Structure 1
């Protein structure tokens, strides 16, 4: 989340740059009683270039052609033609009701009847033929794709430009552009361009391969967080699908067969020739407020019933944070007089703290162009399995001549000026200071040339053993794509008067397969047993060992000395194989209240209080559909909505460097996010594991408790640390967010945009008699032989950033000192 916040902070601070359309107009459409008319048609005279007024009757329209007239229409009102100037803003257009038809005409601002509606009849033919158009008709297809991602600062006015913040940086305002969607002035501050060769197959199992041919960034070239954030915003979608997934949310498509008619009103508005094809124009708008829906119009061909053009604008009352507007356009080309192929896909989002008309924010834009379609050129199965080498330097070093030839849409003067403007901006001392400030707030690190100090949020902590804890640390940073990285920290406890430290390093030997080696050592105090699936992360330290965030007893802490070495490789994208070896010693950090003692002999006469263990481990991690940015030893993730499968095998070897135990441990972890149409998103997590052989408390699987005030993933909110101890376990967590589907229908709650969350967690486990007999600690082993169950109900999106969870036990309620009910919260940045 910090990376995303950093990205947004950076984009907002970098308010960064005259091409004018021939005609720009805006205004409002009203009736004779001065009541606004939503969803009215406004079209330039003699053209099909137009727009639809919003729910408040407001509109903006722009064209490069020199039009002198517009025509405004809405069912039940007389069409109105009026002359316009090249710059005609704040128009008030009054439509008059058609008196001759007042007895039989419906004013389509509310619900529209389905029966006998010609728009519905046309939609039924679209649904029947949606798989008989475009690339679905061919066994194989290929095309060239050009993608442009852009961010702009919007609502720039003279007052804003005169702020002291920009003193010394006034040159960034030399050229300002205007949005042809909203009419707002904006400054382009970031562009990322890509060229792809795409190959697909429909027959014999759907496959798609995309080879990145060229990539170019302007602005934030080295800031992988910003690029990752922008990439995460825009995913592929298909208007023929029932739901269109944007910002991890499912919007009902206006072409949806399953949910369209129950969600939208449809009105047949017009018909005209477009590219020599006769087409029908259908206006649609949502039946209810607060849902994830669009409004707009689309043109449908009268013979193939394929979509020729479609405009989609998100309803402003939709339950989505930080986004004031979303606008989508898709244009389709005609092949052989019958087949419609996607030609241009444009999406614009208006990001803002609130949804007020004059609030300043950022435009995020994606333009995707397609050309040179070819069909039925057979490819072998292994062709689609191969992956292009995205680390090839030539991809990122294309000449200006190359880009001039391969851009399917030319950059305007402002976009081209970003390259020069940001090069100049990075030399301005004031800009550097601003950039450093927001970078610190976002990432938690302070940048010093090739070294980052931090994370600053871990500088202070407190627990029962160390008292107040002071920590300093840092990492190397050479731009974000370096093949190696070193990290280190040291900490000191004012109560135990002891220094702690950690150091690690890794080096990527071969970028294509990501062959990497690494090693590290850490001596510190931590709360073990806060995760069922264990790892040997040298620098990982849970905040569970800090009483700043804890409730109840916080004294069951462990002193750990961990060293490890590893080698990892990715033979296939998103498939990581890792082989490692570790050596650790464990002992209680507070022996007066907690210990890890175990019996050395069968007669139980000799105890040992520390654990010494050597271990080798092998793991497989698969994250299908995960997208990353960058090509260094560390990369940033583009999206979090991917599944994760993790399988780990480890073996403890007795006698190696005085190691105490022989055992084998196998663990499996699976996490799957599921978008369920208009019913929100579900997360499911499943874990199983077993330890073969004898092992003491410090090496067993402790069911993770949560003695903090916050909701923490994959822990049990009502369990204390060490309440359940197992050597064999199975755990499942299911949580579903309805994204406000029900609360948005309650009038008094609708405007709060609250979101409902429900969940259930359960864990089963057992512990062998041999491991029970081994135990000499003051922890009484209790395994959940009867599965432990926990339920929670939550309200999310409180003030857009807070979530409140109410949890209660389903069983084990009579256990001594059991927490049967708890209220916990969590902060988060979510759309």
Structure 2
């Protein structure tokens, strides 16, 4: 008997479905999903050969021993699947594909009213392309001894890699068809990584929820992109097929089909699929993404999957392996390798499950991170190989090296903006320094507590000083987490700082880089503001969050500003400052949203294309804590990302609002313009600063990313991997006569006071943009046209805007 394993020499991963045979004989077999094979025969020759598409064929010597182990490491070739040549008559693969598509609904696991299974996930991240030149880098020198002493993880003929992360998780996964919901209970998790801090967050990320790949969907989301499935309803538009073989796989008789994208630049797969002959269900897939596909920074993507039928008929994946290789930047620079393995077992179908059971999408057991090695040895679906055990030991050694700790800390500061100092984090670094005409040199240092300080109480704040104005600014805040089950918290803050009318608004307060850059140069309509707030927030039910805030603000302008506070027998009474006290009610609803809970916060990972609704009501309370104004304001918005298949994806956001009372213009909706050469999606691109304000408004913004659509068909352009992008902004606004009446023509001493242009009834502000993104892999360049209000003073009717972005 001859047995062994066939692996990829670069990644160390098993190669499933490879052909193992003796030349000039009919004795042959194929490797299983993990790359293992067995031949129970007497060797008819002294040479055993392994071949697989995309790899160089290898042969090895076979001895006369009755039992022997022969392992193979195959080197990847640059060969991609060739074009299919179809002769006269119908391609026989098409007949198979028609039956596959006809029976998709019957074979799709989502036909089941419910199902659940135990799932095991294993993820490994490695640094590869470790050359001799790379080892000489100052960053790597401290770990050279470890690199020199390790075995080649891929095998005796493979390439060395440096593991930086490995994880395992064991979960129970549940699915309900109507209403469509999923839930994952993570029972156990084991995480080892360099620079890893929040193990609870990573535990949620490595579960089965984020490793779901269903080829029965027409479009499959992978790497944040939509890829067309090889068994999509419109399969003929995207793929060519070749029926190569019929063979037995694990007791199932299957058709083996070669799959080739019609356009190499499309987000499509190439490789093989195996179709069960009796049910026309997917039995196995072994697919790659073409190197020519319109993707950035990715050198290789390979996905393999094995499916088995359930007792009710539909097929469920039992094993999935995904490999992603991130390209090296330069011949002697390292790249990254991600290897993800998922195994499902103990499948149960059509059990009675209620929607209430699915309240939380991802739950982590309290003791998930506390299981010992004995538990894992019993619970793993597949035991760790000697290589994987070596990986864990190696990561533990590398992360204890002082220089590695230093570089990891620097990387965390760059990514998160804070430096960890015991129980507090200092930062964020974008705010450390600025220079403007009011403050001169502005220096700022902030902090926030971390989970080592408390898992309930979170404190934060900053102090800032301007060398020109000599004023000290500050913010201090505190939050108390009442519940993590349905996220609830109470908070308080107090702040004194510099702001700008129309920029420091509620809709951009979380845009750190934008607000940091707005502190440079000549500030437009600056003012000092003292703001105190107290709020309480609770998730009333899944996806529905309510927040109530009491806020007190003062407005102290540093530019000529007056408003008519009242009118008496002596005429208009002008005031140049005001204070407000407000009650703010905010409601947010996002159906099917996935949240990951960190140690002291939670992060949204989106809601799979459902719209997100927000409603905000503000009530101004006159004569409360010195407030000068009584008013009401109501705003609402809906935002949604829409996958459009071959046309890419679009995102729209509709905002409406109305102020029901008289207020000074800094409290109006001052629409954000953009006079810089850089594109900012939060601003109206060709609108000047403070050009328009309104007390009643409706705004629709749309952004369309065409991915490779259109340009993939142009021979020269498609090699550049440029992508079309289009933008449209539409704004209707209005200022009531009552609010216009609050604006005096001049100040008490005849000062000129800046005003606003008014909207013409029935004429919205409109602009459109079009251009290219992915220039040099990160530049977005767009031309914009202003369609209305082209005759306004200093109107910009055409402009070209530039921005940097990193998209796969």
* TM-score interval for Structure 1 and Structure 2 normalised by the shorter chain: 0.7 to 0.9
C-alpha separation between the residues in 2 aligned to 1:81 and 1:222? 44
CA shift for structure 1 position 161: 4.6
- Which protein, 1 or 2, shows the higher relative CO under an 8 Å CA cutoff with sep ≥ 6? 1
C-alpha separation between the residues in 1 aligned to 2:578 and 2:356? 50
Instruction: Report what 2:370 is aligned to.
Output: 397
CA shift for structure 1 position 752: 1.5
Instruction: Report what 2:25 is aligned to.
Output: none
1:583 equivalent in alignment to 2:556: no
1:709 equivalent in alignment to 2:677: yes
Structure 1 residues 176 and 711: alpha-carbon distance in aligned structure 2, compared to 1, 3 A threshold: farther
Task: Describe how 1:469-484 pairs up with structure 2 within 5 A.
Answer: 469-478=442-451, 482-484=455-457
Give the counterpart of 1:124 among 98, 106, 110.
98
C-alpha separation between the residues in 2 aligned to 1:537 and 1:90? 50
Give the counterpart of 2:112 among 138, 155, 167.
138
Q: Is the 8 A contact 1:487 1:505 kept in 2?
A: yes
C-alpha separation between the residues in 2 aligned to 1:547 and 1:464? 8
The two structures, once aligned, show a CA RMSD in angstroms of: 3.5
- Return 126-135 or 169-178, whichever deviates more: 169-178
C-alpha separation between the residues in 1 aligned to 2:800 and 2:204? 34
CA shift for structure 1 position 276: 1.6
Structure 1 residues 569 and 416: alpha-carbon distance in aligned structure 2, compared to 1, 3 A threshold: farther
Q: Is the 8 A contact 1:234 1:246 kept in 2?
A: no
Partner SS state of residue 718, structure 1: coil
Instruction: Report what 1:256 is aligned to.
Output: 232
C-alpha separation between the residues in 1 aligned to 2:736 and 2:625? 27
C-alpha separation between the residues in 2 aligned to 1:154 and 1:343? 29
CA shift for structure 1 position 420: 4.4
Structure 1 residues 708 and 460: alpha-carbon distance in aligned structure 2, compared to 1, 3 A threshold: farther
Give the counterpart of 2:221 among 245, 258, 281.
245
Partner SS state of residue 600, structure 1: strand
1:820 equivalent in alignment to 2:797: yes
Instruction: Report what 1:619 is aligned to.
Output: 586
Instruction: Report what 1:511 is aligned to.
Output: 484
Structure 1 residues 164 and 524: alpha-carbon distance in aligned structure 2, compared to 1, 3 A threshold: closer
Give the counterpart of 1:601 among 567, 587, 596.
567
1:528 equivalent in alignment to 2:494: no
Instruction: Report what 2:435 is aligned to.
Output: 462
Instruction: Report what 1:69 is aligned to.
Output: 48
C-alpha separation between the residues in 1 aligned to 2:101 and 2:337? 33
Instruction: Report what 2:623 is aligned to.
Output: 655
Q: Is the 8 A contact 2:328 2:336 kept in 1?
A: no
CA shift for structure 1 position 318: 0.9
CA shift for structure 1 position 449: 2.3
- Return 651-660 or 518-527, whichever deviates more: 518-527
Q: Is the 8 A contact 2:674 2:685 kept in 1?
A: yes
C-alpha separation between the residues in 2 aligned to 1:800 and 1:81? 37
CA shift for structure 1 position 402: 2.8
C-alpha separation between the residues in 2 aligned to 1:388 and 1:251? 25
Instruction: Report what 1:15 is aligned to.
Output: none
Instruction: Report what 1:316 is aligned to.
Output: 291
Instruction: Report what 1:489 is aligned to.
Output: 462
C-alpha separation between the residues in 2 aligned to 1:337 and 1:583? 62
CA shift for structure 1 position 701: 0.9
Q: Is the 8 A contact 1:188 1:415 kept in 2?
A: no
Q: Is the 8 A contact 2:312 2:349 kept in 1?
A: no
Task: Describe how 1:382-393 pairs up with structure 2 within 5 A.
Answer: 382-384=356-358, 386-387=359-360, 390=363, 392-393=365-366
Instruction: Report what 2:347 is aligned to.
Output: 373
1:566 equivalent in alignment to 2:541: no
Give the counterpart of 1:629 among 591, 596, 620.
596
CA shift for structure 1 position 395: 2.8
Partner SS state of residue 731, structure 1: strand
Instruction: Report what 1:673 is aligned to.
Output: 641
Deviation track 1:492-530 (CA, whole Å, cap 9, x = no partner) reads 223323222222221213222222111112211122323
Normalising by structure 1, what TM-score? Answer: 0.84
C-alpha separation between the residues in 2 aligned to 1:390 and 1:686? 33
CA shift for structure 1 position 692: 1.2
Instruction: Report what 1:151 is aligned to.
Output: 125
Instruction: Report what 1:499 is aligned to.
Output: 472
Task: Describe how 1:85-100 pairs up with structure 2 within 5 A.
Answer: none
Q: Is the 8 A contact 2:663 2:739 kept in 1?
A: yes
CA shift for structure 1 position 341: 2.6
Deviation track 1:214-234 (CA, whole Å, cap 9, x = no partner) reads 233222441478778878995
Q: Is the 8 A contact 2:361 2:594 kept in 1?
A: no
C-alpha separation between the residues in 2 aligned to 1:719 and 1:398? 59
1:610 equivalent in alignment to 2:577: yes
Deviation track 1:19-66 (CA, whole Å, cap 9, x = no partner) reads x96455879xxxxxxxxxxxxx96212212399xxxxxxxxx964658
Task: Describe how 1:778-817 pairs up with structure 2 within 5 A.
Answer: 778-784=753-759, 785=761, 786-817=763-794
Q: Is the 8 A contact 1:289 1:318 kept in 2?
A: yes
CA shift for structure 1 position 607: 0.5
Structure 1 residues 231 and 457: alpha-carbon distance in aligned structure 2, compared to 1, 3 A threshold: farther
- Return 630-639 or 451-460, whichever deviates more: 630-639
CA shift for structure 1 position 403: 2.4
Instruction: Report what 1:304 is aligned to.
Output: 279
Instruction: Report what 2:416 is aligned to.
Output: 443
Instruction: Report what 1:12 is aligned to.
Output: none
CA shift for structure 1 position 139: 2.8
CA shift for structure 1 position 646: 1.5
C-alpha separation between the residues in 1 aligned to 2:75 and 2:482? 64
CA shift for structure 1 position 172: 4.3
Structure 1 residues 183 and 81: alpha-carbon distance in aligned structure 2, compared to 1, 3 A threshold: closer
1:776 equivalent in alignment to 2:744: yes
Instruction: Report what 2:66 is aligned to.
Output: none
Instruction: Report what 2:696 is aligned to.
Output: 728
CA shift for structure 1 position 275: 1.6
Instruction: Report what 2:31 is aligned to.
Output: 49
Q: Is the 8 A contact 2:30 2:37 kept in 1?
A: no
CA shift for structure 1 position 359: 5.9
Structure 1 residues 235 and 296: alpha-carbon distance in aligned structure 2, compared to 1, 3 A threshold: same
Q: Is the 8 A contact 2:183 2:362 kept in 1?
A: no
CA shift for structure 1 position 660: 1.0
Q: Is the 8 A contact 1:196 1:211 kept in 2?
A: yes
Structure 1 residues 336 and 666: alpha-carbon distance in aligned structure 2, compared to 1, 3 A threshold: closer
Task: Describe how 1:735-754 pairs up with structure 2 within 5 A.
Answer: 735-754=703-722
**Uncovered stretches (5+) of structure 2, i.e. residues with no partner:** 11-16, 22-27, 63-69, 746-752
C-alpha separation between the residues in 1 aligned to 2:379 and 2:208? 25
Instruction: Report what 2:305 is aligned to.
Output: 330
C-alpha separation between the residues in 2 aligned to 1:87 and 1:380? 49
Q: Is the 8 A contact 2:204 2:362 kept in 1?
A: no
Structure 1 residues 136 and 826: alpha-carbon distance in aligned structure 2, compared to 1, 3 A threshold: closer
Q: How many residues align?
A: 761
Deviation track 1:470-510 (CA, whole Å, cap 9, x = no partner) reads 22222223469833322222222233232222222212132
Structure 1 residues 71 and 471: alpha-carbon distance in aligned structure 2, compared to 1, 3 A threshold: closer
Structure 1 residues 344 and 783: alpha-carbon distance in aligned structure 2, compared to 1, 3 A threshold: farther
Structure 1 residues 749 and 317: alpha-carbon distance in aligned structure 2, compared to 1, 3 A threshold: same
C-alpha separation between the residues in 2 aligned to 1:338 and 1:278? 17
Structure 1 residues 43 and 150: alpha-carbon distance in aligned structure 2, compared to 1, 3 A threshold: same
Q: Is the 8 A contact 1:654 1:660 kept in 2?
A: yes
- Return 146-155 or 683-692, whichever deviates more: 146-155
Q: Is the 8 A contact 2:565 2:573 kept in 1?
A: yes
Structure 1 residues 600 and 383: alpha-carbon distance in aligned structure 2, compared to 1, 3 A threshold: same
Partner SS state of residue 99, structure 2: helix
Q: Is the 8 A contact 1:304 1:338 kept in 2?
A: no
